[in-house]
């Protein structure tokens, strides 16, 4: 049993017996894919009864890491009473997605990007996550957390931190995580004025269910299944650039992408050929995390032939075409577990990083709960609430995925 030290002592004794037949040092990894209310019990059991006697012991902790700043700090403190920070691996599988893992390579090993990676050249950044299915029987779990805690505060915010951090001193895990923490600490807490929440209802035909039709969801639940927020980084590199983030369930399609939209060309010589829709001719770097991993750069280009006609085209790198299916076969969890074996913590979350992330979202989450904020309803299979488009227009931009 998870809450009995005796159970872990028995486990430790069994492992000792197996390891006695080995001539080499025995190391142990414990993966706590368990309900968060027994994280501490398991960690105490590992520490007191099942740790390796000859090598190291490491503990992988699955999200959710609390529900807000206070509960997250409480969990961290309890874990630190029986484990060291070096032993704790807070896993977020999104950090091991191939295109997320590539962000530092893209930024710091290609000369063309880093000089442009600032407020002088980038107009806005969008991080988008959507699923084309609802809770489908998982509503009991989901309703306790909602889309902001489930997706935004961890997966998407981690992507943003890597995308926006300063160049680290080295590729050492602590140097990378130091820079991520600085980004998070430079951000202002999210306000209701920069937030839109939604909940899916039946589709327009009435065939696909609403969130409240899920038998595991409490009646009358106000839990958001969609959220869009605007974030702001107050530092010399990013001051004034809006970072738009949205995530939702039961939307039109399944995808996750980063869209870096560059500023309009000042005094563009080809303005008369481009028309009045400046959004349609803005240079844009798109990083498609899933599905069909790819990167492409949107450019304006002359259409071959007589006369001068300009078209928007893209330089496209499809990972499956370039590297083949086999190279993409390794899953995110496989990579992360291998990193745990090797002691590489680059893609794991440190306690101060987790604390900074919760401080951004906790005021908003408490306000939504206390005010019993009504989510805007949107049809199953749609692009989400209309309010998300108003939020983008507040900053003079459009959601890039709506234009494809």
How many angstroms separate the CA atoms of 51 and 28, rounded? 7
Locus of tokens 């738009």: 244
How many angstroms separate the CA atoms of 311 and 275, rounded? 11
Question: By C-alpha distance, which of 146, 315, 156, 152 is closest to 225?
Answer: 146
How many angstroms separate the CA atoms of 261 and 284, rounded? 5
234 Cβ contact partners less than 8 Å away, ≥ 6 residues apart: 186, 187, 188
Question: Where is 159: in which H helix or E strand?
Answer: helix 157-164
How many angstroms separate the CA atoms of 194 and 172, rounded? 35
Q: Are strands 28-32 and 57-62 parallel, antiparallel or unpaired?
A: parallel
Q: Are strands 376-379 and 195-201 parallel, antiparallel or unpaired?
A: parallel
The answer to whether residues 123 and 241 touch, using CB atoms and an 8 Å cutoff, is yes
User: Mapping DSSP to helix (H, G, I), strand (E, B) and coil, where does residue 60 land?
Assistant: strand
177 Cβ contact partners less than 8 Å away, ≥ 6 residues apart: 345, 346, 349, 350, 353
Does residue 121 have an active-site annotation?
A: no
Active-site pick, 155, 175, 264, 389: 155
DSSP conformation letters of 187-242? BPPP-GGGEEEEEEE--TTS-SPPGGGSTTSPTT----SEEEEEEEB-STTTTT-E
- Helical packing angle, 351-371 and 69-82, nearest 10°: 150
Q: How many helices (H) and strands (E) does the chain have?
A: 14, 13
How many angstroms separate the CA atoms of 94 and 390, rounded? 28
Q: What are the strands, taking DSSP E only, across 269-333?
A: 284-290, 294-302, 310-318
What are the residue numbers of the active site? 155
């Amino acid at each position: 049993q998870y809450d009995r030290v005796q159970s872990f002592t028995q486990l430790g004794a069994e492992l000792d017996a197996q390891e006695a037949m080995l001539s080499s040092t025995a190391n142990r990894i414990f993966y706590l894919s368990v309900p968060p209310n027994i994280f501490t019990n398991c960690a105490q059991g590992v520490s007191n009864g099942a740790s390796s006697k000859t090598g190291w012991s490491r503990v992988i902790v699955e999200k959710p890491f609390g529900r807000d700043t206070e509960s997250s700090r409480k969990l961290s403190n309890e874990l630190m009473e029986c484990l060291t920070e070096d032993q704790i691996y807070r896993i977020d599988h999104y950090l091991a997605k191939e295109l997320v893992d590539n962000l530092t390579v893209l930024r710091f090993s290609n000369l063309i990007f880093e000089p442009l990676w600032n407020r002088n050249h980038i107009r806005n950044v969008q991080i988008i996550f959507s699923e084309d299915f609802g809770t489908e029987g998982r509503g009991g779990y989901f309703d306790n957390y909602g889309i902001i805690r489930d997706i935004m505060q961890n997966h998407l915010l981690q992507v943003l931190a890597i995308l926006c951090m300063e160049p680290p001193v080295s590729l050492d895990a602590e140097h990378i995580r130091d820079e991520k923490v600085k980004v998070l600490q430079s951000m202002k807490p999210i306000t209701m004025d920069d937030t839109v929440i939604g909940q899916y209802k039946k589709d327009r035909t009435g065939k696909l269910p609403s969130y409240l039709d899920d038998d595991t969801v409490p009646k009358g639940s106000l839990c958001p299944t969609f959220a869009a927020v605007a974030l702001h980084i107050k530092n010399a590199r990013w001051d004034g650039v809006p970072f738009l983030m949205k995530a939702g369930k039961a939307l039109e399609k399944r995808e996750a992408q980063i869209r870096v939209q560059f500023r309009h060309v000042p005094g563009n010589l080809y303005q008369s050929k481009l028309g009045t829709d400046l959004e349609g001719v803005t240079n844009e770097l798109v990083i498609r995390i899933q599905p069909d991993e790819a990167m492409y750069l949107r450019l304006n280009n002359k259409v071959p032939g007589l006369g001068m006609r300009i078209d928007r085209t893209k330089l496209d790198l499809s990972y499956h075409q370039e590297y083949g299916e086999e190279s993409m076969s390794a899953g995110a969890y496989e990579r992360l577990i291998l990193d745990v074996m090797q002691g590489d913590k680059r893609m794991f979350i440190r306690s101060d990083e987790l604390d900074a992330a919760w401080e951004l979202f906790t005021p908003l989450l408490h306000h939504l709960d206390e005010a019993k904020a009504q989510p805007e309803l949107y049809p199953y299979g749609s692009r989400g609430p209309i309010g998300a488009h108003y939020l983008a227009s507040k900053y003079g931009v459009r959601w890039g995925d709506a234009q494809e």
